[in-house]
Structure 1
């Protein structure tokens, strides 16, 4: 990585990792995101800071820290390798990117288009990927949001800091299920969701969107 040894045990410094509140407070533009993810090194750093990939690797075999090494034959030109037992892991291990053949930048841009309510066909055209790929990714992102919503159990509304009742605008969506994010849709449930601007101000929360 720029300015660091060729082999290191982390992608970014620990104090560079963003909190949930810091991530939710960001307001990205497409040109910014493209500029941040043009080079693989800066893309890995961006993903690590936003905790989309592991910043460090602990070997499951010997509990030793792995080192980050550049390797041209790897998909993202880097890999984690345990210095003790020599086992290796991809940069994408146990992340949303793990099973995809798309570049990290392409996936991040798909997430950007989806989160900004762009049409599927617009995303297909802009990223020059197949319609099937975009449908799969858009479906996966909706499912991840569903999982996040079902885990969120705090009461909406209440009293604000001036002791006035809070009015929460809600919307509803119908979520379908697919086993392991594949195959036909089965079952489903209605989910009612509160005002996003108000939710962003709540403490101790996580979100996939």
Structure 2
């Protein structure tokens, strides 16, 4: 199963292919003269989230492990609203995959 939560590759809007930067948080154009950059979150469900990717990955893990919400909130240190919103998003992805 490929959920497609993050993009495997991105094309530079100006001149072609991009590569992941060292810290893997941005795509950078392969041509030095272009200097185009784009967040790895751009065009994904994570784009508008202010949570760090590390917390988002933990939320996904605990959701998949079916951990109780009260424990997840303590482990990940996020508020009820953020956790509930992300669990609803993840439920939506799972439902969509099961219907296909």
- Alignment partner, residue 86 of structure 1: 35
Do 2:21 and 2:27's aligned partners in 1 also have CA atoms closer than 8 Å? yes
TM-score (norm 2): 0.77
Distance 1:113 1:95, change over 3 A: same
**Which has a greater percent of helix?**
2
Distance 1:77 1:101, change over 3 A: farther
Counterpart pick for 1:106 among 41, 47, 55: 55
Aligned positions, number? 98
- Alignment partner, residue 20 of structure 2: 68
Q: Does 1:55 align with 2:55?
A: no
In structure 2, how many angstroms separate the alpha carbons of the residues matched to 1:139 and 1:51? Answer: 17
Distance 1:68 1:117, change over 3 A: closer
Which ranges in structure 2 are unaligned for 5 or more consecutive residues?
A: none
In structure 2, how many angstroms separate the alpha carbons of the residues matched to 1:78 and 1:102? Answer: 13
TM-score (norm 1): 0.41
SS at the partner of 1:65?
A: strand
In structure 1, how many angstroms separate the alpha carbons of the residues matched to 2:44 and 2:52? Answer: 14
Counterpart pick for 2:71 among 108, 122, 129: 122
Do 2:15 and 2:34's aligned partners in 1 also have CA atoms closer than 8 Å? no
Residue 137 of structure 1 and its aligned partner are, at CA, apart by 0.6
Higher relative contact order (CA 8 A, sep 6+): 2
Distance 1:66 1:133, change over 3 A: same
Residue 132 of structure 1 and its aligned partner are, at CA, apart by 0.7
The root-mean-square deviation of aligned C-alpha atoms, in Å, is 2.5
SS at the partner of 1:97?
A: coil
Residue 67 of structure 1 and its aligned partner are, at CA, apart by 3.0
